[in-house]
Chain A
Amino acid sequence: MKFFYALTRIDRRLIYLVLTVLVILPFFLKFSIPQNIMPQTKKLFDFIERLSPDDNKAVLVSIDYTPQTMPECHPMAISILTHCFKKKIPVLGVSFDPQAPGLAIEAFNTVIKNLNAQAKTYSDSIIYGRDYVYLGWKSGRIAALMEMGEKISNVFPRDYYNNYTDSLPLMERIKNYRDVSIAIILAAADYPQEWLMYAQARYGLKLGAGLTAVMAPKYYPFLQTGQLSGMMSGMKGAAEYENLLLTAGYTEETGKAEIGMNSQTLIHLLIIILIIIGNIGYMATRKQSVKRQNG
Chain B
Amino acid sequence: MKKIIPLLFCLIIGISMVFQFFIPHPVSTKLNTTINKWVVVLSAFALVLGIGNLTSHHITMIKRKKSDWGYSLVTLLSMFGMAIIGLFFGIDEKSLYQKIYLNILTPLGATMFALLAYYMTSAAYRAFRTRSLEAGLLLGAAFVVMIGFMPIGQFIHPYFPGFAEWLMRIPNMASQRGILLGVAFGSVATALKIILGIERSWLGGKE
User: Could you list which residues of chain A lie within 8 angstroms of chain B, going by C-beta atoms?
Assistant: 10, 12, 15-16, 19, 23, 33-36, 38-39, 66-71, 101-103, 105-106, 109, 138-144, 146-147, 150-151, 154-155, 160-161, 202, 217-218, 220-221, 223-224, 236, 239, 261, 264-265, 267-272, 274-275, 277-279, 282-283
Residues of B within 8 A of A268 (CB): 146-147, 150
The winner among B102, B126, B139 for most chain A CB atoms within 10 A is B126
The smallest beta-carbon distance between B157 and chain A, in angstroms, is 12
Q: In the complex the two chains form, is A220's CB within 8 Å of B33's CB?
A: no
Any chain A CB within 8 A of the CB of B190? no
Any chain A CB within 8 A of the CB of B128? yes
Partner of B43, one of A33, A66, A140, A269: A140
Residues of A within 8 A of B60 (CB): none
A221's nearest neighbour on chain B, judged by CB, is B177
Q: Which 8 A-B pairs have the closest CB atoms?
A: A67-B109, A140-B43, A143-B39, A140-B40, A102-B101, A33-B151, A147-B36, A68-B113
The number of residue pairs between A and B whose CB atoms lie closer than 8 Å in the complex comes to 161
Q: How many residues of B contact A (CB 8 A)?
A: 61
Q: What 1/0 flags go to B173-207 for Cβ under 8 Å of A?
A: 10011001000000000000000000000000000
A239's nearest neighbour on chain B, judged by CB, is B151
The smallest beta-carbon distance between A281 and chain B, in angstroms, is 9
A141's nearest neighbour on chain B, judged by CB, is B43
The smallest beta-carbon distance between B180 and chain A, in angstroms, is 6
The winner among B36, B102, B110 for most chain A CB atoms within 10 A is B36
A143 to B105, CA, bound (A): 29
The winner among B35, B47, B125, B176 for most chain A CB atoms within 10 A is B125
Partner of B106, one of A35, A67, A265, A269: A67
The smallest beta-carbon distance between A224 and chain B, in angstroms, is 6
Residues of B within 8 A of A220 (CB): 168-169, 172-173, 176
Residues of B within 8 A of A154 (CB): 33, 36-37
Residues of B within 8 A of A141 (CB): 43
A263 to B112, CA, bound (A): 18
B142's nearest neighbour on chain A, judged by CB, is A275
Q: In the complex the two chains form, is B39's CB within 8 Å of A274's CB?
A: no
On whether A142 and B39 interact (CB within 8 A), knowing A68-B109, A106-B102, the answer reads yes
The smallest beta-carbon distance between B119 and chain A, in angstroms, is 10
Residues of A within 8 A of B107 (CB): 67
A16 to B32, CA, bound (A): 54
Q: In the complex the two chains form, is A38's CB within 8 Å of B106's CB?
A: no
Q: In the complex the two chains form, is A139's CB within 8 Å of B149's CB?
A: no
Instruction: Give 16 CB contacts A-B under 8 Å.
Output: A33-B152, A67-B105, A70-B110, A71-B114, A101-B91, A103-B106, A109-B93, A139-B43, A140-B39, A147-B37, A150-B32, A154-B33, A218-B180, A220-B169, A269-B150, A269-B152
Q: In the complex the two chains form, is B125's CB within 8 Å of A275's CB?
A: yes
Residues of A within 8 A of B151 (CB): 33-36, 236, 239, 261, 265
